[in-house]
Amino acid sequence: MKRQVSAAFNPDAIAVHDRSARPSSDYEFAFTEDDFGFIAELVRCRTGIMLAGHKRNLVYSRLVRRLRILGLSDFRSYCDLLKDNGGSGEISKLINAITTNLTSFFRENHHFDHLYQTALPAVMSENSSEKRLRIWSAACSTGEEPYSIAMTVMRSRRTLDGWNVRILATDLDTDVLSLARKATYNIQSLKNLPAPLNRDFITSSTDSQIQIDASIRKLISFKELNLLDSWPMKGPFDVIFCRNVLIYFSGETKSELINRFSSMLRLGGWLYLGHSETLSGGHSDLMLTDRTTYRKIS
């Protein structure tokens, strides 16, 4: 998802399909180990996401719809299309299909409690002269995370009166970004939304859908960004959310991304990771202060 950490994708460097390779009889479309290896390497090079062998069924289920749309008879043909004509946009559709987008409003709510009770008061004190607040939601998916961040910030709107507040929300999946910008969600998604926020920041609803209020939407800028590519923003950020993303990367890529996140944080800023993510050695500038919550100390 950002600066080029992994090697550029070279289809010719990947083993040519073994025409004698046996497809699984469980699949509607022939899907050999060769096909899976090609796709896994392409995804690794483009996104840094590692697709181990046990992800083969997941890859099949995510991509089978693309084969039907394209009218292809097997995955060998699909791989040939990616190899010969990837620039036409099919690789982007592949990445969109593979990327996991499990999210919800106020997921891992302890982070939002910490943001409201600890991080924001500290920022208000430390940035009181310039009155500037910058938050980044990396891998924002369909938008529930940045909207939850914005609602949390707006709980402090009286204290933040006159402040320059911006939330950057990025993802490599163009499809989910399109959904996020619409700010329209199934009414069932309200189950995790605290009642006062529901009342204050949901402006309209039907029997099945709700709309996020304009006061929340105007705080957020949605941008396409691959974490393995270059990062055009300059920062610094006061808070960065990058949750349940690093688990898909190799240890080397994860470590480099953490270093880059740290470089984008101001001194005293916070980094929130997912519930199953921890920092290994080599990040002495980040101190664990709460559950998967780190503060930049040097």
SS3 letters for 212-261?
ECHHHHCCEEEEECCCCCCCCCCCCEEEEEECCCHHHECHHHHHHHHHHH
Q: How far apart are CA 1 and CA 4, in angstroms?
A: 8
94 and 120 part of one domain: no
Question: Is 2 contained in some domain?
Answer: no
Structure tokens at 148: 């939850």
Which has the higher per-residue pLDDT, 2 or 286?
Answer: 286
Catalytic residue chosen out of the listed positions 74, 171, 173, 213: 171
91 and 187 part of one domain: no
Question: Is 69 contained in some domain?
Answer: yes
69 and 46 part of one domain: yes
- The pLDDT score that the predictor gives to residue 47 is 83
The number of folded domains in the chain is 2
Q: How far apart are CA 72 and CA 164, in angstroms?
A: 51
Q: Residue 217 catalytic?
A: no
Question: Is 82 contained in some domain?
Answer: yes
What's the Cα-to-Cα distance from 109 to each of 70, 121, 181, 191, 197, rounded to whole Å?
Answer: 41, 18, 23, 13, 14
Nearest of 295, 240, 286 to residue 268 by alpha carbon: 295
- The pLDDT score that the predictor gives to residue 17 is 40
Question: Which of 63, 98, 133 corresponds to the end of one domain?
Answer: 98
Report CA 202 to chain centroid distance, whole Å.
24
Location of structure tokens 């891998």 = 139
128 and 63 part of one domain: no
Q: Where residue 179 sits, what CATH number does that domain have?
A: 3.40.50.150
145 and 279 part of one domain: yes
80 and 122 part of one domain: no
279 and 185 part of one domain: yes
Q: Where residue 55 sits, what CATH number does that domain have?
A: 1.10.155.10
Q: Domain limits at 245?
A: 110-296
% pLDDT > 90, the chain? 59
89 and 117 part of one domain: no
User: Would the pLDDT of 250 be above 60?
Assistant: yes
pLDDT tens-place string over residues 153-171? 999 888 888 999 999 999 9
Q: How far apart are CA 102 and CA 168, in angstroms?
A: 19
Q: Residue 65 catalytic?
A: no
Question: Is 103 contained in some domain?
Answer: no
User: Would the pLDDT of 113 be above 70?
Assistant: yes
Element (H, E) at 286: strand 286-290
Question: Is 286 contained in some domain?
Answer: yes
91 and 150 part of one domain: no
134 and 34 part of one domain: no
Are the CB atoms for 187 and 209 separated by under 8 Å? yes
pLDDT tier, 101 (very low <50, low <70, confident <90, very high otherwise): low
Question: Which of 98, 128, 146 corresponds to the end of one domain?
Answer: 98
176 and 80 part of one domain: no
pLDDT tens-place string over residues 173-192? 888 999 999 999 998 888 87
Question: Which of 98, 127, 151 corresponds to the end of one domain?
Answer: 98
Handedness of CA 168, 172, 178, 184 (dihedral sign): negative
Catalytic residue chosen out of the listed positions 62, 66, 107, 260: 62
Question: Is 104 contained in some domain?
Answer: no
133 and 92 part of one domain: no
Residues 6+ apart with CB under 8 A from 182: none
Task: Determine the residue type at 145.
Answer: E
Question: Is 73 contained in some domain?
Answer: yes
State the pairing for strand pair 164-171/209-212: unpaired
pLDDT tens-place string over residues 70-95? 999 999 999 999 988 655 688 888 98
Question: Is 150 contained in some domain?
Answer: yes
Q: How far apart are CA 175 and CA 93, in angstroms?
A: 9
